[in-house]
């Protein structure tokens, strides 16, 4: 659909659309309880088993290769860009034909959508802004460094830029409301993409300089305490010292995003989030070091989530884009981004095989979901960030994990919201890991043969086929005092008693392999006993779901 519309005209168009269509069901939303979160879709917790398309697949002709990969992956959600340049190629003239095609095809493919608004910033740059924006540096200014040199990055102090981006975003949300409020195919919207600025901590143009001299807003102070030894109030420099420029730029970008998100939600109130090109997660107990050009200043990095919360209350969460393959960094990043006021959701992750095991860890932690990047058979590989393959070999490791979760996706999302789930991914050190459960603990070890103990092997360096690189993982949901659902691959799990079960003789009462059907009913396929349980529960290479009942007797 095409219609020319902007400014006051747009406001009038919207006024006529504010009532939701008759019969429209509950809008998706993110809820919090006891510091845990759920994404409610159609009124119930929803698990995003997602995939993100490549950057340039946001055109109808590219979709067949996207749907094929999404189908193969058993994904239930596609993350897809909507670029400002494509919906408003001429100022005030909107073209939503891409959005219409995408939404219609998503419905045919029975997949939900998360739309990614590539506006003022995409990976910090203005590449996806229309030519009339990115080529007009007077009206839509870029940032200046302290010597007055122009940066590549559009300034968050550009009033005309904000007005134009917001106008386009509002038009998009109004259009979504018109075409989708009754069906909710689109369940979330990411506002901008990996914002911040490389190589420059903040804008030095006159408006920005004046703002930098102003007192730090109280809302920011409440969330981002002053640097040790500095006054409780004052200008950015006075309060934050070496951190001042990064914090100020963060506040400026977050405030800009807030204006866009707030205006968009006023029209159509979908959950909204931002994503982050990570800075090193460091050591979780240590504070961040000041910015020194080592990440994009102004982005929602883990150290400034409080500033985003203060400045952008219409953004539900900031999600980490995980392209650091090291298990230690993945674990630390997940911990940094999962807080009582920040729901964990991984909107991007490398699509190399080694990342598939992290799905267990992420979903076990109770995340809203995860989406590897480049689940798309376009002939493009972003190696070394992701897989070298662009075909089924790339999708296969994720497809296997998603296939195991898919039948119980709604159950898993509910269990996660209830705090019943835990998860691990095999570490780079290949060492065993322990998961604390209620009354039990699970010791998860890797590279084990399914029969017997490692100590029995003549050659202690003898390992199962296919375990040269770490690829094991397990997620556990505790359904009752002694009842568990385990889903995982290439791992040995041993459950032992804790608390009231400690000191008692514990055993498996029943270990069923099977799956949940579409109605959430457990379908038992076989019962594990004998060799299959004598040496722990040894999950094979193919993701497997077990329903385990433990028992204990007095010694």
How many residues form the binding site for ligand DGJ (CB under 6 A)?
9
Residue number, 73 or 174, with CB nearest to ligand DGJ? 73
123 binds ligand DGJ (CB under 6 A): yes
Question: Measured from the CB of residue 275, what is the shortest distance to ligand DGJ in angstroms?
Answer: 6
Tell me the closest approach of the beta carbon of residue 382 to ligand DGJ, in angstroms: 4
Strand order in the sheet with 44-46: 29-33, 36-41, 44-46
Candidate residues 76, 86, 185, 193; the one interacting with ligand DGJ per rule CB under 6 A: 193
382 binds ligand DGJ (CB under 6 A): yes
348 or 448: CB nearest ligand DGJ: 348
Min dist. Cβ of residue 388 to ligand DGJ (A): 13
Query: Does 77 help bind ligand DGJ (rule: CB under 6 A)?
Result: no
Instruction: Tokens for 461, please give them.
Output: 């360096």
- Residue number, 278 or 362, with CB nearest to ligand DGJ: 278
Which of 128/157 has CB closer to ligand DGJ? 128
The first and second tokens of residue 525, run together, are: 């396929």
Token pair belonging to 428: 């780079």
Burial class (CB in 10 A: 0-12, 13-18, 19+), 19: exposed
Q: How far is the CB of 380 from ligand DGJ (least distance, A)?
A: 9
Alpha-carbon gap, residue 48 to 28, rounded angstroms: 12
The closest alpha carbon to 129, from 98, 83, 162, belongs to: 83
Give CA separation, 513 vs 176, 270, 274, 421, 535, in Å.
43, 38, 39, 19, 16
Q: Contacts with ligand DGJ in 230-249 (CB under 6 A)? A: none
Residue 400 CB, nearest approach to ligand DGJ (Å): 23
Distance CA 367, CA 360 (A): 10
* Residue 205 to residue 182: CA distance in whole angstroms: 45
Least distance in angstroms from the C-beta of 348 to ligand DGJ: 6
499: left (phi over 0), alpha (psi -120 to 50) or beta: left
Instruction: Report the residue number, 382 or 496, with the smaller CB distance to ligand DGJ.
Output: 382
In the bound state, the residue with its beta carbon closest to ligand DGJ is 382
Extract the tokens encoding 421.
Answer: 């789930």
Residue 178 to residues 21, 181, 362, 386: CA-CA distances in angstroms?
Answer: 8, 6, 34, 37
CB of 203 to ligand DGJ, least distance (A): 22
Q: State in angstroms the smallest separation of the CB of 494 from ligand DGJ.
A: 39
**122, 143 Cβ separation under 8 angstroms:** no
Using CB under 6 A as the binding rule, the residues of this chain from 286 to 345 that contact ligand DGJ are 321
Minimum separation from the CB atom of position 483 to ligand DGJ (A): 40
Nearer to ligand DGJ, 316 or 321 (CB): 321
Quote the least distance from Cβ 386 to ligand DGJ, whole Å. Answer: 7
**Least Å from the CB of residue 458 to ligand DGJ:** 46
For 512-515, the CB contacts below 8 A with 24+ separation are 512/546, 512/547, 512/548, 513/544, 513/545, 513/546, 514/545, 514/546, 514/547, 515/407, 515/408, 515/545
Least distance CB 385 / ligand DGJ (angstroms): 5
Could you write out the DSSP letters of every residue in 212-241? HHSBPPHHHHHHSPPPTTS-SSSBHHHHHG
376 binds ligand DGJ (CB under 6 A): no
Of 362 and 411, CB closest to ligand DGJ: 362
Nearest distance in Å: CB 296, ligand DGJ: 11
Nearer to ligand DGJ, 177 or 336 (CB): 336
Q: Between residues 385 and 404, which has the closer beta carbon with respect to ligand DGJ?
A: 385
The residues with which 32 forms a beta bridge, in sequence order, are 37
Return the residues of window 415-444 that contact ligand DGJ according to CB under 6 A.
Answer: none
**Cβ closer to ligand DGJ: 70 or 475?**
70
Q: Considering Cα of 311, then 312, then 317, then 322, what sign does the dihedral take?
A: negative
Tell me if 385 contacts ligand DGJ by CB under 6 A: yes
- 127 versus 541: smaller Cβ distance to ligand DGJ: 127
Between the alpha carbon of residue 245 and those of residues 103, 219, 240, the distances in Å are 41, 18, 8
Cis peptide before 259 (omega within 30 of 0): no
Give the start-end residues of each E strand in 437-497.
440-445, 473-478, 483-489, 491-497
SS3 253: helix
Q: Helical H runs in 300-391?
A: 305-311, 327-337, 358-364
Is the CB of 116 or the CB of 267 nearer to ligand DGJ? 116
Q: Which of 373, 412, 417, 484 binds ligand DGJ (CB under 6 A)?
A: 373
Instruction: Kindly identify the residues of this chain, within the stretch 53-72, that bind ligand DGJ according to CB under 6 A.
Output: 55
Q: Which of 180, 194, 203, 426 binds ligand DGJ (CB under 6 A)?
A: 194
In this structure, what are the phi and psi dihedrals at residue 437, rounded to the nearest 5 degrees? -120, 180
Across the strands, what pairs with 549? 483, 510
351 vs 489, which CB is nearer to ligand DGJ? 351
- Contacts with ligand DGJ by CB under 6 A lie at 55, 123, 193-194, 321, 348, 373, 382, 385
């Amino acid at each position: 659909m095409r219609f020319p519309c902007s400014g006051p005209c747009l406001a009038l168009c919207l006024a006529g659309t504010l009532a939701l269509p008759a019969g429209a069901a509950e809008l998706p939303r993110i809820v919090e309880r006891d510091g845990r979160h759920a994404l409610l879709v159609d009124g119930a917790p929803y698990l995003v088993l997602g995939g993100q398309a490549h950057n340039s697949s946001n055109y109808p002709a590219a979709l067949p290769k996207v749907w094929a990969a999404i189908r193969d992956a058993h994904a239930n959600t596609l993350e897809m860009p909507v670029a400002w340049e494509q919906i408003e190629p001429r100022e005030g003239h909107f073209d939503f034909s891409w959005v219409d095609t995408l939404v219609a095809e998503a419905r045919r493919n029975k997949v939900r959508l998360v739309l990614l608004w590539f506006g003022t910033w995409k990976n910090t740059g203005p590449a996806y802004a229309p030519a009339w924006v990115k080529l007009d540096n007077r009206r839509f200014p870029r940032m200046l460094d302290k010597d007055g040199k122009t940066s590549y990055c559009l300034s968050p102090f550009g009033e005309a830029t904000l007005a134009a981006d917001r106008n386009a975003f509002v038009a998009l949300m109004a259009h979504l409301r018109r075409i989708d409020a009754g069906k909710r195919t689109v369940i979330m919207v990411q506002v901008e993409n990996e914002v911040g600025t490389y190589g420059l901590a903040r804008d030095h143009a006159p408006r920005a300089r004046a703002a930098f001299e102003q007192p730090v807003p109280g809302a920011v102070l409440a969330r981002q305490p002053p640097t040790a030894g500095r006054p409780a109030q004052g200008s950015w420099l006075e309060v934050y010292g070496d951190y001042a420029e990064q914090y100020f730029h963060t506040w400026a970008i977050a405030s800009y995003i807030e204006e866009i998100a707030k205006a968009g939600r006023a029209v159509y109130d979908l959950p909204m989030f931002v994503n982050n090109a990570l800075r090193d997660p460091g050591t979780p107990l240590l504070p961040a070091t000041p910015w020194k050009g080592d990440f994009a200043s102004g982005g929602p990095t883990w150290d400034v989530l409080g500033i985003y919360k203060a400045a952008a209350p219409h953004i539900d969460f900031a999600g980490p884009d995980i392209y650091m393959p090291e298990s230690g960094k993945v674990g630390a990043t997940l911990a940094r981004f999962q807080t009582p006021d920040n729901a964990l959701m991984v909107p991007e992750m490398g699509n190399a095989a080694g990342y598939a095991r992290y799905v267990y860890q992420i979903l076990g932690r109770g995340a809203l979901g995860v989406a590897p990047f480049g689940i798309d058979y376009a002939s493009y590989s972003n190696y070394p960030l992701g897989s070298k393959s662009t075909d089924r070999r790339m999708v296969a490791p994720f497809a296997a994990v998603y296939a195991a979760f898919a039948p119980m996706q709604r159950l898993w999302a509910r269990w996660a919201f209830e705090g019943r789930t835990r998860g691990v991914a095999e570490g780079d050190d290949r060492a065993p890991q322990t998961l604390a459960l209620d009354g039990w603990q699970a010791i998860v070890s890797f590279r084990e043969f399914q029969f017997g103990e490692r100590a029995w092997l003549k050659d202690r360096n003898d390992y199962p086929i296919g375990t040269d690189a770490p690829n094991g993982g397990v997620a556990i949901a505790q359904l009752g005092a002694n009842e568990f659902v385990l889903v995982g691959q290439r791992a040995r799990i041993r459950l032992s008693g804790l608390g009231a079960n400690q000191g008692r003789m514990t055993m498996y009462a029943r270990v069923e392999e099977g799956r949940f059907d579409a109605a959430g009913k457990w379908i038992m396929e076989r019962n594990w006993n004998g060799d299959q349980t004598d040496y722990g529960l040894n999950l094979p290479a193919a993701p497997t779901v077990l329903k385990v009942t433990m028992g204990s007797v007095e010694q």
